[in-house]
Each structure stands twice: as structure tokens, then as C-alpha cells.
Structure 1
Amino acid sequence: MKTMILYASKYGFTADCVAELKKNLNGETRLVNINSDKIPALDDYDTVLIGGSIYIGQIDKKIKKYCLSHLDELKNKTLGFFISCGSAETIDTYFKDSFPDILLEKALTLDNFGGEMRPDKMKFFHKFVSNMVEKSAQKDNTSPMKPLPESILRMANTINTHS
């Protein structure tokens, strides 16, 4: 089995998650950061896992554009989609807004890897927004954003079982 994990990571949390995912997948796996790496041809891969972080309600535009422009090729692959998001209440909406319905329906797995604030790496605006989110969560007494390593393992197990 040859797998490509295509992802976008703004401050490193998603990159850390896909590195962990790679460790748990059987077969040859290639990580491709859509913002810095050359994207290989899909012909070389049986399985394609695609995702990224959600910022201000949106996934990286390049991920969305890639899925739309490679729709026909992706429909013929074993697929999985993931997001990194700390807001569990809106997960279904984020998946629907981030990826084409036809691909979501075909996917073996849809997983949220959770989230983690990394203010030391953030630009001013994202730092400002993350502070507002954190204060709101404290005020509403809701749980803070946290990584979900069990989701990474679940995705790996699902893909490994079906390959």
C-alpha cells in the first residue's frame, strides 16, 4: 500500500499530527505539505488522506482547490479526510465546507485531530483571536482545545484494515 498524506499546517500542530499518523500506517507513506512541497502525481498512490487546520472557520484554500481540481482522480482512490479543530460542536459543518460531498461520501474515515494553541508561533491577528476564544471558553466553562491522539490512531487503524 502506498499512501500520500496531503495537508496544510499553519503553526505546526497538524504537521505533528500527520507525522504521528504516518508512524501508525502500514506500507510506504509520503507526507506532502501543500504550502511547501511539490505535489506528486496521484497515480503513484492507492490511498490519499487529506486535511488541515481550521482557522476562522475555514480550511486552507489550497486544500479545497486541490480537491476540486482533482475530483475525478480522487474518486478512484481509497480516501480519508481530517481536520485539526478544537471546536467539536461544528465538526460536521467544517467537513462539509472543506471537502466536496462526493468525496466525503466515498471516504473510509473522517476524523478530527483536535487542536492546540501555539501562540508563540502565531501572528498578531491569530493570537488576538485565540485569546478571545480562550477567554470565551473560560467564561462559558467549556473545555479547552486539546489534541485527540485517539483520532489519529483510529484513522490509521481504519486505513490499515482496508488496505
Structure 2
Amino acid sequence: MKTAIIYATRSGTAEKCSAKISEMLSGESTVVNIKKVSSPDLSGYDSVIVGASIRIGKVQKEISEFVQKNLETLKAKRLGVFLCMGAGEENFNEYLSQNFPKEFLDKCKSKGFFGGEFNLERLGFLSKMMLKAASKGKPQPHIIPGNIDRFVKDFED
């Protein structure tokens, strides 16, 4: 099985998770940053995993546009979707439904909440300052490796 892992990231967490998924999949996989390759050719793939991070309740517009533009092609493939976010897992389904069409989500074999992390080196000055102020005294979010493992297992079953 050939899998395309299409992702968008702001601070690098979705990129890191995409690479981890690629390592774990049993078949051949290609990792594509949608911000660098805006129209990947999906014809050679049996399956597609879409990954994004959440910022102020939204995924990156490149991911939204990619799914909308390729919805019919995507629905003919094995699908998975994951989100990286600092908010708790209790918000996961809400963010999925706010950001992706129902017919896309209904076709996804696997849906993953991978947690999140703050990579301050990849953020601009204003984003850094806002993040530091908002997170002061709160536990820091982190990637949840067990959720990635479960996602890959569910996707391949």
C-alpha cells in the first residue's frame, strides 16, 4: 500500500508526527508539506493521511483548501486524519467537525489526536510573547506517542 501523508504545520509538530507515521507504516509512504507542494498528485497512492495543527480553532488554510479541492479523489482512497493541538482531547471532535467536511470525516478509517508542543524557535516574536503569557503557570502540552501508535494500527487494520 502506498500512502501520501499530507500535512501543514506552523511550529513543526505536525511535521514531526508525519515523519513518525511514515516510519511506522508498513508500506511505502511519502510525506508532503502542503505549503511547499500545493497540488500533490494523488493518483499513485492507495491511501492518504491528512495532518494539521490547530491555531485559534482552525487548521491551516492550505489543508482546508486541499481537502475541499480534492474531496472526490480523497473519498476513493483509504483515509486518515490527525490533529496536533495544545488544547485537550475533549476538543478534538469539535475541531475535526469545524475544519473538515462531514463526508471526508465519514470516510476516515483512523482519526488521531496527537497532543501538541510549543516550539518557540519556529514562532515569530509576537506569537512567542502571546504563547508565553497564555501558558504561564500551566502544564506544557506534549506529543502523545501512544496515540500515534494507535492511529497507525487502526489505519492499517
2:141 to 132, 145, 153: 145
Q: How does the TM-score come out when normalised to structure 1?
A: 0.89
What is the root-mean-square deviation of aligned Cα atoms in Å? 1.4
Match of 1:22 in 2: 22
Q: Note the residue ranges of structure 2 that are not aligned, 5 or more in a row.
A: none
Paired residue secondary structure (2:80): strand
Match of 1:54 in 2: 54
| Deviation string, structure 1 residues 78-123 (Cα, Å, up to 9, x no partner) | 0000010121231111111121111101111111111001112211
Number of residues of Structure 1 aligned to a counterpart in Structure 2: 156
Paired residue secondary structure (1:5): strand
Note if contact 2:115-2:141 (Cα within 8 Å) is conserved in structure 1.
Answer: yes
Note if contact 2:18-2:51 (Cα within 8 Å) is conserved in structure 1.
Answer: no
Runs of 4+ in structure 1 displaced over 3 angstroms?
none
Identity %: 33
Q: What amino acid maps onto 2:108 in structure 1?
A: A
Match of 1:113 in 2: 114
Q: How does the TM-score come out when normalised to structure 2?
A: 0.93
* Separation of aligned partners in 1, 2:56 and 2:129: 12
Q: Note the residue ranges of structure 1 that are not aligned, 5 or more in a row.
A: none
Note if contact 2:10-2:53 (Cα within 8 Å) is conserved in structure 1.
Answer: yes
Alignment pair present for 1:86 and 2:82 = no
Q: CA deviation at 1:67?
A: 0.5
* Separation of aligned partners in 2, 1:74 and 1:10: 24
